[in-house]
Amino acid sequence: MNETLLFLSNVSDSCGVSLLDQPSVRYPLMVIYCIVFVVCLVGNLLTLAVLTTHPMMKTPTHYFLSNLAAADILVAVFCILQNMVHLIGLDHGNWPLGAFLCRAYLGITNVMPCTSAGILVLVSAEKYIAVLHPLSGLKWLTPENRKRACVAVWVISVGVNVPYFINAKYYEMEDQVACFRIAIPLWNIFSFVIWYLIPLICLTIIYSRISHLLWTSDSTRQSSRQSHDSKGDLENGNGTTSATPGASWQMKNGKVVMFNQESLLKVPIKKKESKKESKKPKDTEGRRKVVRLLVAVVVAFAVLTLPHHARILYTSFETEPFCNSDWMMLTQPLSYILLFMSSAINPILYACLSKRFRTALSDVLHCRKGIFHKISRPRTRTLVSDVPVDDTPCPSPLPQIRMNRIR
């Protein structure tokens, strides 16, 4: 059984009215499709605007995430509404959008999950090098290498899915039009392994190592600091600090001034050390927040795209047909909805888990910075001059002050 079975089973009206043609099923699914479309399109457009135009968001990780947002925008434009029209919008699975959109819809539906998986692997690799091998990152994490990596992911994902473009079929009959894809069982298995299993295993290993390093760095630093303090205490004897003897000097007027060497020597040092040590936990906490966000994106991708892959694999080898009034007919639209939700949920995760993204989004929406505002806007300065207000024949001997506003 393959993608053509839906159309063929609908044409053969042997099992009665199709479940997807019933109003109680069709209209709720259409509402869900429309909500996912609006969230995916608007959310990713705003995300792309924020990541590419706001100066605070121009980082290596956000460069990869902007490519992910661009891929999700293509899903919204070429896949979501077309899939709704194809499966539940018209009776008997008719396709009214023409041959070009048929091939684009079937091809992009398979390309975009692959591109998303590849970009998520690039993001994890960038974080792995930056956190675990920072010196190597100076050599490898350059803007040119990032661009090459993104281009390579797009090219490879399109190239691997060329068979799906070739096997996309568009047929016109008397009163019905069919848009479907011929099943390729072995290629479906290959695509599942290359674009789902292997990336998921790599992402799990990489983020596990990064999380282990970040979550154990503070405890290691704290234990080493405590051991250093205890060592200093033991040097004074019996594990307790001994009072540093005072010192004195005699001034010219004969007075003797006493001072405590401990207070003079230790207090400034403690302040400097506290400043240095306070930066490390702050940097570590910032990296932890980024890792939490990226792990959430990966988990959402893995959970929401798995039903689509599972359905494709099942229908590639299943040969027994089922009636179009069976509840199994719901697996196709529901798996596609979950697949499209994986493209729509990323902006929501950014807004919920990243305070920096929320601040940048607020700046863009209120035209403070970003695409709707010139970052280097002219500043207003006020100068004071001693030029007289008017050229009277008898000016005052004292200069008058005038405020000049200059842009």
**Any idea what the Cα angle at residue 66 is, between residues 287 and 122, rounded to 5°?**
60
Helix (H, G, I), strand (E, B) or coil at 171: strand
- In angstroms, the CA 364 to CA 370 distance is 5
| Contacts with 52 (C-beta within 8 Å, 6 or more apart), sequence order | 58, 66, 371
The token pair at 218 is 């503070």
Q: Is the pLDDT of residue 392 over 90?
A: no
Q: Is the pLDDT of residue 375 over 60?
A: no
Whole-model pTM: value is 0.73
Task: Provide the terminal-to-terminal Cα distance of the chain, rounded to the nearest Å.
Answer: 71
Query: Of residues 230 and 146, which shows the higher confidence score?
Result: 146
Query: Of residues 258 and 34, which shows the higher confidence score?
Result: 34
Residue 157 has a pLDDT of 93
The DSSP code for 59 is S
Q: Is the pLDDT of residue 240 over 70?
A: no
Domain boundaries, the chain: 4-219+275-365
**What mean pLDDT do residues 193-201 have?**
93
**Any idea what the Cα angle at residue 216 is, between residues 212 and 219, rounded to 5°?**
170
Residue 267 has a pLDDT of 43
Helix (H, G, I), strand (E, B) or coil at 321: coil
The token pair at 284 is 């570590």
pLDDT band of residue 16 (cuts 50, 70, 90) is low
Evaluate whether 214 touches 284 at the Cβ level (below 8 Å): yes
Q: Is the pLDDT of residue 245 over 80?
A: no
Evaluate whether 36 touches 58 at the Cβ level (below 8 Å): no
Strands 177-181 and 402-406: unpaired
Assigned fold of 4-219+275-365: Rhopdopsin 7-helix transmembrane proteins (1.20.1070)
Instruction: Taking the CA atoms of 132, 134, 135 and 141 in sequence, report the sign of the dihedral they define.
Output: positive
Partner residues linked to 385 by β-bridges: 402
- Phi/psi of residue 246, each to 5°? -75, 170
Q: Is the pLDDT of residue 399 over 80?
A: no
- In angstroms, the CA 32 to CA 157 distance is 28
Residue 164 has a pLDDT of 87
Q: What is the pLDDT of residues 74-126, one digit of tens each?
A: 999 999 999 999 888 887 678 888 888 888 888 888 898 899 999 999 999 99
Helix (H, G, I), strand (E, B) or coil at 382: strand
Q: Is the pLDDT of residue 278 over 60?
A: no
- In angstroms, the CA 346 to CA 47 distance is 9
Q: What is the pLDDT of residues 19-63, one digit of tens each?
A: 888 889 999 999 999 999 999 999 999 999 999 988 888 888 889
**Any idea what the Cα angle at residue 263 is, between residues 259 and 266, rounded to 5°?**
140
Helix axes 331-353, 261-317, angle to 10 degrees: 170
- In angstroms, the CA 196 to CA 344 distance is 19
The token pair at 401 is 């002050």
